[in-house]
Structure 1
Amino acid sequence: MDSAQFLHSFSFPSSDTKLCKIPTCFSPGLLQVVGPSQPVLAKVGDDVLLSCWLEPAVDASDMSVEWSREDLNPSYIYLWWYREELESLKHPDYKGRSSMLFSKLEFGDVSLKISKVKPSDEGKYRCFIPTLGRGCTVELVVGELILKVQDSDNWGLSGFLNIFLITCGLIQISFSPTFIHIINRFIQPPEQIVIILLFQTLKSLIYRIIWTLCCGSRLQSVLNHPSDESRT
Structure 2
Amino acid sequence: MAVDYATPSPSAPDTRFDYFWNQQGEWVEEPNVRRGGESGVQRLHSANGQLLYAKRQVGHTYRSLRHPMGRPTVLRERDALQSLAALGVGVPKLVFCGAQRDTQGQWRALLVTEALDGFQEIDQWYESHDRAHYGEALHEAILKQLADTLARMHKGRWQHSCLYAKHIFLRVVGEGAAARPEIATLDLEKCRQRFSAQSAARHDLKQLRRHSSFSDADWSKLLYFYKTAFGSPIKGLES
Both proteins in one fold, TM over 0.5: no
Q: TM-score range by the shorter chain?
A: under 0.3
TM-score between the two structures when normalised by the length of structure 2: 0.24
Structure having the larger proportion of residues in helix: 2
TM-score between the two structures when normalised by the length of structure 1: 0.24
Larger C-alpha radius of gyration, 1 or 2?
Answer: 1
Structure having the larger proportion of residues in strand: 1
